[in-house]
């Protein structure tokens, strides 16, 4: 196809903004749940299109270090799964390193699917660090 503008991400973003500003305020109460789900779905799509795989290189590096391999994230994740499955990461210190990488991957996904939850989690873990320095949790 010819590169038509505006792009998909832009279209989704402006559709969501119009929906929020013009439609959501006048939605009848019995349709509000569906309307909020529509806004939520558009928001996830907008963030996914905007992210466009940014940050994946850093995560791939972290996974690669953990399992001593190279490649992009898509190629490395099934190999990580295999390593977990066969017990290569069973030792307690290996599990701790694994959990840290898994937490980074999960936070990156959460930034797309539920940034509010990510923000709440970030402020919770920072408060905890502040209150109990050095204890981890």
Partner 1 sequence: MSGGGTGLTAERKAALESWLAGQAGARAVTVTDEGRLSGGAISLNLAVTLEIDGGRLDGRHACVLRTGSASGVSASLGKVQEAAVLGAVFATGATVPEPLFVGSDPAMLGAPFYIMRRAAGIAAGFRIVKSDAPQRDLARELGRQLGLIHRVRPGTPGLEFLPLPEPTAARQAAHDFRQWAGRYAVTDPVLTYGLRWLERNAPPSGDLVLCHRDYRTGNYMVEDGRLSAIIDWEFAGWSDPMEDLGWFCAACWRFGRNDREAGGIADRDDFYAGYEETAGRRVDPHAVAYWEAAACMRWAVIAIQQANRHISGTEPSLELALTGRMLPEIELDLLLHLDAVAARGGFV
- Please give the residue ranges that form the binding site for partner 1 (CB under 8 A): 34, 37-38, 40-41, 44, 77-78, 80-82, 84-85, 87, 89-90, 92, 95-96, 98-99, 102-103, 105-107, 109-110, 112-114, 117, 121, 124, 135-137
Supply the minimum distance, in Å, between the C-beta of residue 11 and partner 1. Answer: 19
Cα 61–chain centre separation: 17
Residue 120 CA to residue 124 CA, distance in Å, equals 6
Question: For 132, which DSSP code?
Answer: S
What HEC string does 53-107 produce? CCCHHHHHHHHHHHHCCCCCHHHHHHHHHHHHHCCCCCCHHHHHHHHHHHHHHHH
Give whichever of 6 and 126 is closer to partner 1, judged by the CB atom.
126
Terminal Cα-to-Cα distance of the chain (whole angstroms): 52
Give whichever of 54 and 137 is closer to partner 1, judged by the CB atom.
137
Give whichever of 22 and 135 is closer to partner 1, judged by the CB atom.
135
Give whichever of 68 and 135 is closer to partner 1, judged by the CB atom.
135
Supply the minimum distance, in Å, between the C-beta of residue 117 and partner 1. Answer: 5
Question: For 133, which DSSP code?
Answer: T
DSSP per-residue string spanning 11-29: HHHHHHHHIIIIIGGG--G
Supply the minimum distance, in Å, between the C-beta of residue 48 and partner 1. Answer: 10
Supply the minimum distance, in Å, between the C-beta of residue 5 and partner 1. Answer: 28
Give whichever of 9 and 42 is closer to partner 1, judged by the CB atom.
42
């Amino acid at each position: 196809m010819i590169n038509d503008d505006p792009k998909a991400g832009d279209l989704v973003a402006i559709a969501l903004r119009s929906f929020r500003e013009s439609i959501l305020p006048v939605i009848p109460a019995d349709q509000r749940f569906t309307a909020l789900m529509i806004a939520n779905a558009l928001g996830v799509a907008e963030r996914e299109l905007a992210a466009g795989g940014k940050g994946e290189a850093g995560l791939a590096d972290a996974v690669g270090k953990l399992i001593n391999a190279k490649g992009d994230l898509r190629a490395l994740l099934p190999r990580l799964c295999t390593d977990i499955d066969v017990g290569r990461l069973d030792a307690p210190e290996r599990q701790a390193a694994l959990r840290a990488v898994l937490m980074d991957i999960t936070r990156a996904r959460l930034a797309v699917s539920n940034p509010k939850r990510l923000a709440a989690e970030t402020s919770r873990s920072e408060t905890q660090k502040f209150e109990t320095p050095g204890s981890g949790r």
